[in-house]
């Protein structure tokens, strides 16, 4: 078997065209959706992500603002910037680029963002809404991954979903989303005994670990949907958590890295910002 490749670039392009149309409609009502990204310090990977977010905004006609703060910024200054953006009517979405330098309190910074402007979906209120099934902002990466899973056309209800990784930004919200789709969800992590025994049961397998090539073909059920969230730099190349060659020979569907979930994450950020602006009109 050779898996169907779920193409994040193609899916993003059609979603972005739809987003651009809705941005245009809002502009005709006098509102331009706006995203502000706060970047503290000069981590090169974060700088690239922030630049890509700004480019994404321009592509769909949104306003974007980057607040670049020095690496020694203190908590009060950071929170002062968040307060200013909370009050700014041009800004509908605020994102604090993570990770923050170690001396800053990440949880306190995220809690400071108005929940309705929290387009990353990391505020405790939005995390709680996702867990309890109420409408709220869904974190971008799991939202993008779910969109890709839906493109298979499978009826997700009753399927076995196994998520490898339990972070607050990917693994846990992914589990909540798939539970909402009526999947039977297993979450694996660094202390899981016999990882392969779990992954081999998965009709839907999501890898969000940060270990290049961790998931190999012998760990995958034939015909499964395999979603690779991992972004790992190996010898100057970007690789996922999934060993593409051996897994694509077994799986039914697979996402590539690059060109898979990563591309969808920024598209979902644009979607969350658009929806935040639509709710505020």
Which residues sit at the interface with ligand NAD, rule CB under 6 A?
141, 164-167, 169-171, 188-190, 192, 195, 208-211, 229-232, 261-262, 265
97 is catalytic: yes
120 is catalytic: yes
Residue number closest to ligand NAD, CB atom: 167
10 is catalytic: no
Shortest CB 50 distance to ligand NAD, Å: 14
Cβ atoms of residues 33 and 23 within 8 Å: yes
Euclidean distance between the first and the last CA atom of the chain, given in angstroms as a whole number: 49
Shortest CB 123 distance to ligand NAD, Å: 17
Q: Can you tell me which residue has the tokens 């073909």?
A: 217
Q: Can you tell me which residue has the tokens 């509102």?
A: 31
Residue of 97, 117, 172, 271 marked active site: 97
**Residue 175 or 224 with smaller CB distance to ligand NAD:** 175
**How open is the CA angle 46-139-22, to the nearest 5 degrees?**
95
Cα 92 to the chain's mean position, in Å? 18
Beta bridge partners of 238: 233
Shortest CB 141 distance to ligand NAD, Å: 4
Residue of 117, 118, 120, 263 marked active site: 120
C-alpha neighbours within 13 Å on the C-beta side of residue 248: 15
SS3 for 179? helix
**Residue 62 or 187 with smaller CB distance to ligand NAD:** 187
Q: Can you tell me which residue has the tokens 């009109």?
A: 281
C-alpha neighbours within 13 Å on the C-beta side of residue 34: 16
**Residue 3 or 170 with smaller CB distance to ligand NAD:** 170
Shortest CB 206 distance to ligand NAD, Å: 10
**Residue 115 or 210 with smaller CB distance to ligand NAD:** 210
Which residues belong to the active site?
53, 97, 120
């Amino acid at each position: 078997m050779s898996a169907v490749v779920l193409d994040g670039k193609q899916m993003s392009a059609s979603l972005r065209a739809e987003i651009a149309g809705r941005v245009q409609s809002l502009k005709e009502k006098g509102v331009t959706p706006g995203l502000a990204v706060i970047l503290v310090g000069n981590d090169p990977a974060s700088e690239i992500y922030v630049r890509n977010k700004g480019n994404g905004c321009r592509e769909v006609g949104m306003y974007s603002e980057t607040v670049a703060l020095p690496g020694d910024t203190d908590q009060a200054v950071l929170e002062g910037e968040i307060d200013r953006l909370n009050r700014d009517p041009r800004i509908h979405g605020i994102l604090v680029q993570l990770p923050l330098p170690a001396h800053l309190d990440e949880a306190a910074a995220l809690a400071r963002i108005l929940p309705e402007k929290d387009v990353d979906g990391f505020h405790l209120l939005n995390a709680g809404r996702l867990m309890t099934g109420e409408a709220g902002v869904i974190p971008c990466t799991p939202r993008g991954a779910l969109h890709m899973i839906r493109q298979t056309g499978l009826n997700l209800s009753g399927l076995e979903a196994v998520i490898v990784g339990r972070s607050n930004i990917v693994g846990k919200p992914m589990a909540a989303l798939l539970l909402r789709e009526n999947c039977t969800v297993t979450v694996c992590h660094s202390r899981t005994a016999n990882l392969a025994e779990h992954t081999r049961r998965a009709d839907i397998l999501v890898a969000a670990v940060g270990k290049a090539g961790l998931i190999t073909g012998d760990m995958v059920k034939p015909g499964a949907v395999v979603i690779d969230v991992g972004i790992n730099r190996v010898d100057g190349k970007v690789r996922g958590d999934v060993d593409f060659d051996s897994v694509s020979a077994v799986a039914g569907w697979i996402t590539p890295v690059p060109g898979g979930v990563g591309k969808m994450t920024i598209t979902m950020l644009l979607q969350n910002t658009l929806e935040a602006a639509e709710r505020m009109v």
